[in-house]
């Protein structure tokens, strides 16, 4: 996916740890992310950058998320930007709903990153169809991220979860070479210790599944001492 076509999400949240976590998960899913720690900064950024969606915490210093949402709706430039409000579990959610803040959706903390990404995609699909593209294509490979399905030349390709994440990363950056360490970070996460050669094992499995046991051209290029890339020219 071209970087300019990736949806831009503005996170408005004053808890640094949560911002870091959200950023990590959203970038992994192919979104561009920027963040603001308070309402004023959020309104400035939204006005300057016109993000595709605002993820807005209800509990903010100085100006509440609710007020930020109202002001976004008052400005013609930001009026149509979809807003997902983050609230604490329980009554806050009802309060936000009752106050009719103009948010498009609400999600209560704590939430799973998977649930959040699904909600973001749903809201984006309604607001700007075509933007929340969930199909990745490369050569004769089609990857349906929503259905978690991969097809090559019309044939179903069955991948384990690790191979699926590897392929998704390659398909989001075709032609780019990634070192084993970079792939470990992206696919297994920063905190998990995995031997770099584990990457080779999963690349082998991915190749086997994609190439239908060597019947089809190998699209994964091994770059000696550098890593791997998804490429037309196979080694
Ligand atoms: Ca907060």
- Distance from Cα 203 to the centre of ligand 1, integer Å: 41
- Distance from Cα 209 to the centre of ligand 1, integer Å: 44
Note whether 105 and 111 are within 8 A (CB).
no
- Distance from Cα 82 to the centre of ligand 1, integer Å: 19
DSSP-derived secondary structure letter, 178: B
Give the end of a domain, one of 108, 127, 146. 127
Question: Is the per-residue pLDDT at 94 higher than 70?
Answer: no
Give the end of a domain, one of 104, 127, 150. 127
Token code pair at residue 148: 């978690």
Token code pair at residue 103: 């948010």
- Distance from Cα 3 to the centre of ligand 1, integer Å: 29
- Distance from Cα 57 to the centre of ligand 1, integer Å: 6
What is the pTM (predicted TM-score) of this model?
Answer: 0.58
- Distance from Cα 78 to the centre of ligand 1, integer Å: 22
- Distance from Cα 194 to the centre of ligand 1, integer Å: 34
Note whether 199 and 188 are within 8 A (CB).
no
Relative to beta strand 32-36, strand 8-12 is: parallel
- Residues linked to residue 155 through DSSP beta bridges, in sequence order: 152
User: How far does CA 91 lie from the centroid of its chain?
Assistant: 29
Give the end of a domain, one of 127, 154, 183. 127
User: Which of 123-137, 149-163, 212-226 tops mean pLDDT?
Assistant: 149-163
- Summarised one tens digit per residue, pLDDT across range 189-203 is 766 778 888 999 999
- The helix/strand/coil state of 75 is coil
Task: Report the pLDDT value the prediction gives residue 168, as an integer from 0 to 100.
Answer: 92
Q: Per-residue pLDDT averaged across 103-130, rounded?
A: 84
Place of tokens 């599944």: 209
Give the Cα separation of 145 and 113 in Å (integer).
15
- Summarised one tens digit per residue, pLDDT across range 166-223 is 999 999 888 899 999 889 888 887 667 788 889 999 999 999 999 987 788 899 999 9
- Positive or negative torsion for Cα 135, 8, 15, 183: positive
Q: Per-residue pLDDT averaged across 43-59, rounded?
A: 94
187 and 101 in a common domain: no
- Distance from Cα 157 to the centre of ligand 1, integer Å: 42
102 and 147 in a common domain: no
Question: Is the per-residue pLDDT at 98 higher than 60?
Answer: no
- Distance from Cα 28 to the centre of ligand 1, integer Å: 23
Place of tokens 């979860």: 161
Task: Report the pLDDT value the prediction gives residue 20, as an integer from 0 to 100.
Answer: 96
- Distance from Cα 61 to the centre of ligand 1, integer Å: 8
Note whether 87 and 108 are within 8 A (CB).
yes
109 and 191 in a common domain: no
- Distance from Cα 44 to the centre of ligand 1, integer Å: 18
- Distance from Cα 178 to the centre of ligand 1, integer Å: 36
- Distance from Cα 217 to the centre of ligand 1, integer Å: 50
- Distance from Cα 79 to the centre of ligand 1, integer Å: 23
87 and 16 in a common domain: yes
Note whether 171 and 186 are within 8 A (CB).
no
Kindly compute the dihedral angle of the four CA atoms of residues 214, 203, 162, 10, in this order, to the nearest 10 degrees.
-110
Structural domain of residue 43, as residue ranges? 3-127
We report the CATH number of the domain holding residue 35 as 3.40.50.2300
Phi, psi angle pair for 138, to nearest 5°: -150, 125
Give the Cα separation of 166 and 183 in Å (integer).
7
Question: Could you count the other beta carbons within 10 Å of the beta carbon of residue 29?
Answer: 19
Structurally, the chain folds into a number of domains equal to: 2
152 and 121 in a common domain: no
- The helix/strand/coil state of 13 is coil
92 and 195 in a common domain: no
- Distance from Cα 10 to the centre of ligand 1, integer Å: 14
Peptide bond into 168 cis (omega under 30): no
């Amino acid at each position: 996916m071209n970087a300019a076509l990736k949806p831009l999400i503005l996170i408005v949240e004053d808890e640094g740890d949560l911002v870091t976590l959200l950023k990590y998960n959203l970038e992994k899913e192919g979104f561009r992310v920027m963040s603001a720690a308070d309402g004023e900064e959020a309104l400035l950024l939204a006005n300057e950058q016109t993000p595709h969606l605002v993820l807005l915490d209800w509990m903010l210093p100085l100006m509440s998320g609710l007020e930020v949402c109202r002001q976004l709706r008052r400005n013609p430039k930001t009026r149509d930007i979809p807003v997902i409000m983050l609230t604490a579990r329980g009554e806050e959610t009802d309060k936000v709903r009752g106050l009719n803040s103009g948010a498009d959706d609400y999600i209560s903390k704590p939430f799973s990153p998977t649930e959040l990404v699904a909600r973001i995609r749903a809201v984006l699909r309604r607001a700007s169809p075509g933007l929340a593209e969930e199909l990745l294509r490369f050569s004769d490979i089609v990857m349906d991220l929503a259905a978690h399905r991969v097809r090559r030349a019309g044939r179903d390709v069955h991948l384990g979860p690790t191979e699926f994440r590897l392929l998704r990363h390659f398909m989001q950056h075709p032609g780019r070479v990634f070192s084993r360490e970079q792939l470990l970070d992206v696919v297994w996460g920063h905190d998990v210790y995995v031997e770099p050669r584990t990457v080779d094992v999963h690349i082998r499995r991915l190749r086997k599944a994609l190439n239908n046991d060597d019947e089809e051209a190998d699209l994964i290029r091994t770059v000696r001492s550098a890593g791997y890339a998804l490429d037309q020219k196979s080694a």
